[in-house]
Structure 1
Amino acid sequence: MTDRELDAAGITDPALRHAYRQCRRLNARHGRTYFLATRLLPVEHRAAVHALYGFARWADDIVDTLDPAVGLEHRDAALCALHRTLAEGLRGSGSSEPVVLALADTARRYAIDHRLFADFMAAMHADLSVTGYATYADLRAYMHGSAAVIGLQMLPVLGTVAPREAAAPHAAALGVAFQLTNFLRDVGEDLDRGRVYLPADLLMAHGADRPLLRWSRATGRPDRRITAALREFEALTRDVYRQAVPGIPMLADVSRPCIRTACVLYGGILDAVAADGYAVVHRRAAVSRGRRATVAADGLVRVAAARLRVRGRRRAAYVPQSPPLESSRRSVHEEVA
């Protein structure tokens, strides 16, 4: 993490600075799309977002390791240890784990409800034993802890211009939309981990099931039944995005470009999946570098416009106390500089 981000956030303790840097590295390594969008946030808020995302990635990595030497027992023990460390950190007992240290500091700074972290950990524990979901309703219940709470954790950091309780359902929906997008993109990789996030009743409605998915993965051959199920899952995901988007104008002006950019980039993954013929059982679809650059450039323009609007409002609200002419001139030069 750059010193500029840490300085802007008022993070001066050396151990905390090290902890936040570790979170930023996790974000940069694992979340290219979201990391890019995070760069559009005001510099003083980026450290908190890296802490929230870094912790989520760490827990997810424990659950999703493909190392055959790390069995279910070891992953369960590691997750339980992380849960205990998290609880101690949130209670203010401190932590030797940098990611937990940064997360606890962010939770304190922004008064984030600790129950959101407990719900997240419950979902991570579920991933160790639950390998599929009978219905879409069952999947959505799981995603409250795995995805919706991430959006709710982010809300105090982003800030709102509407009452937070009005923005909360949209923030939760956006977290769900992002995860549904990941589920669609990662169908093949999740199969390798023994998991299927496509609801069984949705697959069945198109004559597909888990054995058919495994056969298609093993042979590399597409199947129209799977394609139809994936297309319906995409439609469900796009509907969740439609529920989420009205919440973007409720965010603080300077936070909107970041979330809008993340929304467009993640939505672009759905477009890439469709353009690739719904071949996600065999390979992962990705947004092109050119498209990512275009969306990021648009986000930068929106950031600049938002900052100008905020400055304009501050200037309009400021009533000068008739400073001496020389002092006034100096302030103008400083502003231009």
Structure 2
Amino acid sequence: MTRAQIVAAARDSIAVGSKSFAAASKLFDPVTRERAWLLYAWCRRCDDIADGQDHGHGMTAVVDAPARVAELAAMTEAALRGEKTGDAAFDALALVAAEVDLPPQWPRDLVAGFALDAEEWRPRSTNDLYRYCYHVAGVVGCMMAVVMGVRPDDEETLDRACDLGIAFQLANIARDVAEDAAAGRCYLPVDWLVEMDVPPGEHMKPPYRRRLAVLARRLAAGAAGHEASARYGTPALPFRSAWAVLAAAGIYGAIGREVAAKGEHAWDHRVTTSRTAKLRFVARAGWQAARRERLYRPSVRDPALWTRPR
């Protein structure tokens, strides 16, 4: 496949897999937009292989999870070596990794996140939860930052980028508790469930919904804290990239806030953001991006926030 064909396949992948990210990506300049699509396509493909999904939909409990992760790990390593894999999404990784000099450890860290799921790993503590969020989303924030032009050694800005990925994942976990439970997964730390006196595997049962809502609000609060921190990294980005990041922060932040607001009814229907609301967030983000030097002046990152591994 030519580069143009790989980019087209990546564009189609994001259109099906994430309408929110697709909307935000339109705000990038053309070069950054294409590279964001390329990176997204690889992330989406890895997720689909690991979970037996189709563009993020229809997650099932797979019986050969370790073999699936081994397959995507081998193809990822081939892509990082610049080899053609015959899979458009992995060839997309090869392209973007070469074009932006992507540190190879970061794709490996993402694959390590899929390995945790394949091993049926469950978080016991808050630190375990955040470590998982780093592997499946925070590191994606770091990779996206480099795609937007951030230097791989700009640790302060990369910390903020990681914060945004973690915020997204915490919001997703809060929203998808029921969906995850149906697939035999639970990302609520064991310590949290013990604290709320919720028996293992029974958190979705009606008698525990109010207690579950307390934990969902805790997740949403964590998401909000990391989202707020991430905004202070936007002065380091070009205007259009900052606009896209702030739009995505608003859109995903609304999901976490809606889950918290709905309480025990948060899982009656899947929480989404309407098209009208997305347009409002995009407009607001444009205003924020134009004023980011004043709104988000450099400040010391909150030491209470979880910090990515170096």
Fold match by TM threshold 0.5: yes
- Note the C-alpha offset of 1:108: 0.5
Deviation at 1:212? 2.8
Distance 2:94 2:151 in 1: 26
Deviations 1:101-152 (A, max 9, x none): 1111101000010110111111111111225211110111222221111011
Give the corresponding residue for 1:264. Answer: 250
In structure 1, the residue matched to 2:279 is 293
Structure 2 counterpart of 1:111, which letter?
D
* Secondary structure in structure 2 of the residue aligned to 1:212: coil
Q: Does 1:195 align with 2:181?
A: no
In the alignment, which residue of structure 2 is the partner of 1:83? 73
In the aligned structure 1, how far is the partner of 2:128 from the partner of 2:152? 31
Matched, 1:164 2:154: yes
Match of 2:175 in 1: 185
Give the counterpart letter for 1:72 in structure 2.
V
Give the equivalent residue in structure 1 for 2:63.
Answer: 72
1:1-337 to 2 correspondences below 5 Å: 15-65=2-52, 71-73=62-64, 75-160=65-150, 164-216=154-206, 223-299=209-285
Gaps in structure 2 of 5+ consecutive residues: 292-310
Structure 1 residues 98 and 19, CA gap change in structure 2 (3 angstroms) = same
CA separation of 1:135/1:72 partners in 2, compared to 1, >3 Å: closer, same or farther?
same
Single out whichever of 115-124 and 83-92 deviates more from structure 2.
83-92
Give the distance between the partners of 2:233 and 2:104, measured in 1 at CA: 23
Measure the CA separation in 2 of the matches of 1:175 and 1:280. 22
Tell me which moved more, 290-299 or 30-39. 290-299
CA distance in 2, matches of 1:101, 1:162: 22
User: Residue 335 of structure 1 aligns with which residue?
Assistant: none
1:15 aligned partner, one-letter code: T
Matches of 1:42 and 1:153, distance apart in 2:
17
Q: Is the 8 A contact 1:135 1:199 kept in 2?
A: yes
Deviation for aligned residue 1:92: 1.9
SS in 2 for 1:25: helix
2:202 alignment partner, SS class: helix
Identical-pair percentage: 26
Q: CA offset at residue 258 of structure 1?
A: 0.3
Superposition deviation, residue 83 in structure 1? 1.6
Counterparts of 2:175 and 2:190, CA distance in 1: 18
TM-superposed CA distance for 1:300, in Å, is 5.5
Residue pair 1:273, 1:285 contacting (<8 A) in 2 also = yes
Contact persistence 2:149–2:237 (CA under 8 A): yes
Residues 214 and 174 of structure 1: CA distance in aligned 2, closer, same or farther (over 3 Å): same
Change (3 A) 1:234 1:278: farther
Q: What RMSD, in angstroms, separates the aligned Cα atoms of the two structures?
A: 2.5
Q: 1:54 to 1:280 in 2, by over 3 A?
A: farther
Q: Displacement of 1:264 after TM fit? A: 0.6
CA 1:144–1:198: 2 relative to 1, 3 Å: same
Is contact 2:210–2:264 with CA below 8 Å preserved after alignment? no
CA distance in 1, matches of 2:257, 2:133: 22
Shift of 1:296: 2.4
Distance 1:22 1:68, change over 3 A: closer
CA distance in 1, matches of 2:238, 2:152: 9
